[in-house]
Amino acid sequence: MPRRATSHTEAVNSDSFLDIVASVVSIMIIMVVMEGVRIKKTPVQVAIPANPAAEALKKDLATEQALRGDVLRTAAEIEDLQRETLARTLQRNALAVAVARVDQAIQRQRRQLDGGRQADFDLARSLSESKQQLRQLAQQRRQAEGATGKPVVVESYPTPLSRAVDGPEAHLLIAHGRVVFIPLEPLLKQLQESAQQQVRDWSNQSEVSETVGPVDGFRLKYTLERHDEAASDDNGGRGGSYVRLKRWSLVPTADDLGEPVRLALMEDSDFNKVLSKILPGRTTITVWVYPDGFAAFREVRKALYHRGYAVAARPLPQGELVSGSPEGSQSAAQ
């Protein structure tokens, strides 16, 4: 009968195994605590996207502060003028009282004289007044000869002659003290697409009006009309009808489009950002301006000339919209 083999393997010590497991768990707990402390001390960086409304509000606040400064300066100037006027008025009144007293004293002295001496007195008085006037004129002459005239600044522009615009053209509108670029080309492109659709759907009406846009704060309203051509020798005895553009007008969607002129001429303005995309020397800047914006137009024209742009002015009657028609005039630039 075979003998059973005796096993010489020692039993595993359970206490040592538990110690090893406890050590590993302790190390893991320490690592977790250290990682939590590190994460707690790490600053949290949250990327906040730019809010267009906040940017617009910031720009409006800057405009409001600039206008508030202008109002305060104007109020201070008005107050200074009022004080100066009051001082001048008091001085004039005092001089008038002094002159009246002197005249009364002279009249009293004259009444105390007889007829012959009164004539001599009047003659002496006239002579004294003439000498006083002569001294004043001599003093004014010396002041005029010794005064240094202020230099007169004459602003020169490229040429006083104008020429018809026959190349690329960009359009500006100056209204309510603000300046804004007019997106005329994109709106005219929409007009062409809309007009083609209107022609395809044309019925028997004499004219049709439609509006396209808005683009950058402007809508374009246009009118198409039907034109009937009678038969004649010029067209080979054949008459007909066709549709043509009668007129278009730009309608702003708000009164505060663009930027105030003073802010627009600053280096980092939206106006200059758009202007930097327009090549000088090739593109003519046509400025549409109302009568109350002529002073602002001169500032804008000066800035454009210094950058090398040709400028065409299109004055508008107050309240009239920017508009055009096939029979309209062409811009003339300087």
What is the per-residue pLDDT across 42-98, written as a single tens digit (0 to 9) for each? 665 555 555 777 778 888 888 888 888 888 888 888 888 888 888 888 888 888 888
Distance CA 176, CA 62 (A): 18
Tokens of 114: 């007889």
| Cα-trace Rg, the chain | 44
Task: Give the residues across from 312 on adjacent strands.
Answer: 286, 333
Residue 225: C-alpha distances to residues 171, 194, 197, 242, 247 (Å): 26, 14, 14, 9, 9
Domains of the chain, by residue range, sit at 56-144, 163-228+240-333
State pLDDT tens for residues 162-209.
455 567 888 989 888 899 888 888 998 988 888 888 877 777 777 888
Return the pLDDT at 110. 63
Residue written as tokens 């009937």?
228
Tokens of 68: 């508030």
Return the pLDDT at 115. 62
- 216 secondary structure, DSSP code: T
- Does this model's pTM top 0.75? My answer is no
Please provide the size of the chain in residues.
Answer: 334
State pLDDT tens for residues 216-249.
889 999 888 887 776 566 656 565 677 778 888 9
Distance CA 239, CA 320 (A): 37
Is residue 94 helix, strand or coil?
helix
- How large is the angle between the packed helices 115-146 and 52-111, nearest 10 degrees? 150
Distance CA 219, CA 251 (A): 5
Q: Identify which of 308, 310, 2 has the alpha carbon closest to the alpha carbon of residue 168.
A: 310
